[in-house]
Amino acid sequence: MLRDVNPRERSKRWMNEMGMTLLEIMVVITIIGIVMSIVGVAVMKQLEKSKKDAACLQIRNFEEALDHYKLEKGNYPSTEEGLSALVQAGKLKGKAVPKDPWGKDYIYIYPGTNNQDGPDIMSYGADGREGGTGDGEDLNNWGPPCVK
């Protein structure tokens, strides 16, 4: 015949056999935290690279639109007219000049100081200031990383 076991003892035995200790739970949570921090850093780096790529692509689009503008009008827009002349001439889609991926205006200078025969187009990058390296690197139509 089966021995009757005290319900409290049965409950303790079941908890010991089936459950995880607090230490095991803390180890699992720590491992998950480490993995998430590694993944988070990688995702943020990729996001910043994507923003730089998008800015370079937009600068190239501006250059193409400016070349079409010059073919029609005979010259590039002046610095004062800026990139908004492309919108007015129907060379850019939309009702306004797009902002860079960081929400700032692109800088347009014509005649360019770095491009002898054309305009300078640039974005000051993530930091919004001239100069910088890494995430704050300036992006333009005359040097790396947009021109390879």
Spatial contact of 83 and 102, defined as CB atoms under 8 Å apart: no
Q: What is the pLDDT of residue 67?
A: 94
Q: Is residue 54 packed enough to be buried (19+ CB in 10 Å), middle (13-18) or exposed (0-12)?
A: middle
CB contact burial 79-107 (16+ within 10 A = b; e otherwise): eeebbebbbeeebbeeeebbebbeeeebb
Query: How far is it, in rounded angstroms, from Cα 36 to Cα 107?
Result: 38
Q: What is the pLDDT of residue 15?
A: 58
Query: How far is it, in rounded angstroms, from Cα 134 to Cα 112?
Result: 25
Q: What is the pLDDT of residue 14?
A: 59
Side chain identity at residue 31, one-letter code: I
Mean local confidence (pLDDT), 26-33 = 94
At 3, is the pLDDT very low, low, confident or very high (cuts 50, 70, 90)? low
At 77, is the pLDDT very low, low, confident or very high (cuts 50, 70, 90)? very high
Mean local confidence (pLDDT), 118-128 = 93
Q: What is the pLDDT of residue 57?
A: 95
User: Hey, what domains does the chain have and what are their CATH numbers?
Assistant: 7-140 (3.30.700.10)
Spatial contact of 119 and 66, defined as CB atoms under 8 Å apart: yes
- pLDDT averaged over every residue in the chain: 88
pTM: 0.73
Q: What is the pLDDT of residue 11?
A: 64
